[in-house]
Structure formats: C-alpha cells, structure tokens
Amino acid sequence: MTHVLAAGDHFVSPKIFSEAIRARAGSDADLTFAELLLPWPLTPFGPIDSVDEASGSVPELISALEGVEVAVTQMAPFTAEVFANAPDLKFIGVCRGGPVNVDLDAATAAGVVVSFAPGRNAVAAAEFAVGLMLTAMRRVVVADADLKAGSWRGDFYTYDNAGLELDGATVGLIGYGAIGSIVSRILRAFGSTVLTYDPYADADRVAADGVENVSLEDLLRRSQVVSLHARLTPETHHMLNAANLGLLPRGAVLVNSARGGLMDYAPLPALLASGALGALAIDVYDIEPPPADWPLLAAPNVVMTPHLAGATRQTAERAASIVGDDVARYLNGDKPRFVANPAVWDVLEARRILQ
C-alpha cells in the first residue's frame, strides 16, 4: 500500500489531486490518501526558510507527511527541515512550471524524486496577456470606472486620446517559450506583426511561426506593444530598466504578466506621466501585494490585476493531471516525464535493477 499526501489549496484542491491520481494510477493501485489544505490564495504565498512562493507551515507539513511515500502539492514548503523529518518520503509532484517551493538540494540529498508540471498554465497565461493588451490599448478599465462614476468620456474618441488596434501593430514578445508562442499565435490571428527576443528559442521554430527573433534593443525600438514572457533568473532580473525603456516608441504599451522582477518599476510613473509610455498593464509585482504607497497605484493609464494570469479551472485540472501522470509512472516503476533532479531517479533505477 502506498500512502499519498494531497497537499492542496483553494485553487488545486486536495480532491482535484486525489481524483487525478486515481484516474491515472488505475483501479488496481493500492493507495491511501491524506489531505492537507493550504491557505493560498486567500493568504498570499511567500518565502519560507530556504524556499520561495510557498504556503502553509513547516510543522503542519511534517505532521501530515508521517508515513507518506508520495506527496503532491502546488505550494507546500518542502524545506531541508521537512526532508530531515520525513523518512518515508520518496516522491514529490509539484504542479507548477518549476518546483520553487522545494529545496531541491535537500530533496536530492534525501533521495527524494521531485517532478513538476511545465506548461500547465500556458493557455490561460497567454489569453490573459492578450486580454491585458486589449484592455490597456482601448482604455477599458478607465472608461468603465469613469462611466460608473457618472462621467461619459467622449474625449476618448478624440484623435489624440483614441486607442490602438492589434491589427497591423508590431508587438514584441520578450520570451518565446510555451506561453510566448501561444501569445504569438493569437496575435498573428489579429493581424499583428510579431517580434521576439529570446536567445534560447529554437530558431527554426520561431521562423516557421513567421516571427522575427531580434535583439532586445531592436525589439524595444520597433514595438508599439511589448509583453514579457521570460523566466525570472539572475540574467533576466530587471532586464527592462531606465537604461532601455527609453527606446520604446512614444505612446507604446507595456504588459507584464510573467514575473515582477523582470522589470524595474521605478522609472515607469514618470514615463507614464510624460506620455512617453502610453499605457502599462501588469499582473505581477516586486512585492505581492504591492504596498499602499506604491507610486504606480496613482500613475495614469495603468491596468492592474492581482496575479491572475493562470487562474482558470482548466489550469488547476491540467496541473493535477500532469502531476497525476508522473505519480502513476513512479508507481509503475517508469521514469516520470518531468523530473527536476534526474540523478535521484537514476540511483533508484539502478537499485531496482540490482534487486
């Protein structure tokens, strides 16, 4: 019998996890489930000890892991202390694009396989990014708020204040992975010309999509709309900053639904106030939630949402399904598809062969 902990939250619930695993492991699998409900997203995630973007507490996770061999989660804090106190744990499935809430070095030292779920929110995030573009380009949020406050903004129909169309616009995508490539497909259906900056993208795939891969500086100079879809790494931290934001055409629209750390937000209020930047749409922040005195809260032509790009029911179900597939593979002795520490699996496989 295999004991499984479904450490869910209010988005990917324990029930969604357990149903996905049962459906993929089959009726013959001898499984028992324990459940742990974490407070995210009703309580924001944050760093916990050595891991990032985690929810819940280390003591409650250690208690829930007693006798557990397989754990699945989105946000539980798998720190070094957790691994030191979970001797039965052998496999963790994290339904995110990367297991940032797992101390991977500690997991590897403990001999625990860690899998993850790339692409689980790609469609949701791509659609949301395009929605932010349209909302910012057509002043939807401002017009809605003013109309509800009793103001009929006829001035939005004047030439100087009129919006922009995606048809015929040049849109620059910073990052051309799973999300960026879907955004590109949607934009090309609108009639946009799409540029990308991604030094790691497959050149043949980008060219086949009808997209031009250019330098970051060239993308900024040529794009009426810029949308970020890169991973946050030391290399990409503040890749948009005071030194290069001035390259944008006057009145350009900037969208960030990827990670707050990709942009230095400090120069943006002045750029918006001067009209050098026409509009800003953001779903992610340096600090989440942003503080009450954050300057962009009072800046003109800003659309803000509380990190919602991946928030669809399909994303939750898809994430659990990806992890459920890898749990089933692990239970069957097959290598999971998305292993973050493959050296641990290789050791387990060698032991299995010797047995």
User: Could you list the active site residues?
Assistant: 259, 288, 307
Alpha helices, DSSP H, located in 169-255: 178-190, 203-208, 216-222, 242-245
Q: How far, in whole angstroms, is CA 352 from its chain's centroid? A: 36
Handedness of CA 313, 318, 321, 322 (dihedral sign): negative
CA–CA–CA angle 60, 61, 65 (5° rounding): 120
What is the SS3 assignment for 16? helix
**Residue 28, class by beta-carbon neighbours within 10 Å (0-12 exposed, 13-18 middle, 19+ buried)?**
exposed
Question: Which amino acid, residue 330?
Answer: Y
Contacts of 105 (CB under 8 A, 6+ apart): 80
Q: How far, in whole angstroms, is CA 71 from its chain's centroid? A: 21
The residue behind tokens 């400090």 is: 266
Q: Give the Cα separation of 337 and 329 in Å (integer).
A: 8
Beta bridge partners of residue 240, listed in sequence order: 263
Q: How far, in whole angstroms, is CA 347 from its chain's centroid? A: 31
Structure token pair of residue 156: 């939005």
CA–CA–CA angle 290, 294, 295 (5° rounding): 145
Q: Give the Cα separation of 228 and 218 in Å (integer).
A: 15
DSSP per-residue codes, 81-130: HHHHT-TT--EEEE-SSS-TTB-HHHHHHTT-EEE--TTTTHHHHHHHHH
Question: Which amino acid, residue 247?
Answer: L
Q: Does an H or E element contain 195, and which?
A: strand 193-197
